[in-house]
Amino acid sequence: MIVTVTPNPAVDYTVTLAAEPAPGEVLRTDRTRYDAGGKGINVSKYLDALGRETLATGFLGGFVGEHLETQLASAGLPASFVDIDETTRLNTTLLAPDAEYKINQTGPTIDAAAIESLLGTLCERDPETVLVAGSLPPGIDTATVDRIATAGEWKTVVDLGGDVLGELSAGYALCKPNRVELEEATGRSVDSVDSAIAAARSLRDRGFERVVASLGSEGAILVSDDRAVHAPALDVEVVDTVGAGDALLSGVLGGFARGETDEEALRTGVAVATRVVGVSGTRVPSLGDVRETRERVSVVPR
């Protein structure tokens, strides 16, 4: 089982506009979506669609938290969240004809009792892999993430901000930065696939067995030991980039859970991400036939 921990979940509110917003102008639309979001939750949704055993957990509170929990239950996604008093985030994405705008809330404060309850949930489930993903709300710091990594025998994967990755001290099976996070975590410029691989190798030396980095239009890389592989992005119509990195990670983790090699897992990750960018919001596209997309993904050693 892969348990995903989303410390700072959200309901993702996506609005599609017919025109670019301008100061003082009132725009109207009936094209809106409310999706249960947060990096860990997204990964669990994609893993579930891929047929992998998963459980989503983290912290939920208030009317937004109730809505999110109801959505997950309606979708049949296994979940066990810790209840908190403050209200869960509502994150907004505006999809205009020529641009994408994002407004993310900071999130509620998490107290020590809630953290202990989360650790208890993890120990009770005793999964093979634990993923900690997304932003850290007030009350959660790198020491908390390190506690999660050392609280059981599971392998721990992280998808966190670059500043957080640079401060973790426990051992981790894998991390998944994007280009900007890779730069923040290592202090290196990442302007090409080769420079991304060099930065990923530097990050590996800090205690990450594998580094998977998403590079936007340049695809993704996976670095482990002295090996590095690169998968160029497929040429497809991009509707929305929300959840693309989470989809990549879910494919990689699902691949490893099936015993795939680094090359195979990266190919699966890029295939899932390709499907996800073709739909708006963080809703889950059909992944039952993702193998067809996977066969189009090329992976080359670097």
Q: Which helix (H) or strand (E) holds 204?
A: helix 193-204
Q: How many residues does the chain have?
A: 302
CA distance 278 to 14: 15
Provide CB contacts within 8 A for 101, sequence distance 6+. Answer: 21, 93, 94
> For every one of its 302 residues, what pLDDT tens digit does the chain have, with 9 covering 90 and above?
999 999 999 998 989 999 999 899 998 999 998 988 889 999 999 999 999 999 999 999 999 999 999 999 999 999 999 999 999 999 998 999 999 898 999 999 999 999 999 999 999 999 999 999 999 999 999 999 999 999 999 999 999 999 999 999 999 999 999 999 999 999 999 999 999 999 999 999 989 999 999 998 899 999 999 799 999 988 877 776 777 899 999 999 999 999 999 999 999 999 998 888 777 666 787 787 788 888 889 999 98
Q: Rounded to whole angstroms, what are the CA distances from 60 to 30, 64, 140, 198, 204?
A: 28, 8, 14, 38, 33
| Rounded-to-integer distance, Cα 200 and Cα 185, Å | 9
> What's residue 236's pLDDT?
79
pTM of the model as a whole: 0.90
**Across-strand partners of 56?**
4, 79
User: Quick count: other Cβ atoms within 10 Å of Cβ 275?
Assistant: 22
Catalytic residues: 246
Alpha-carbon distance of 48 to 273, in angstroms, equals 15
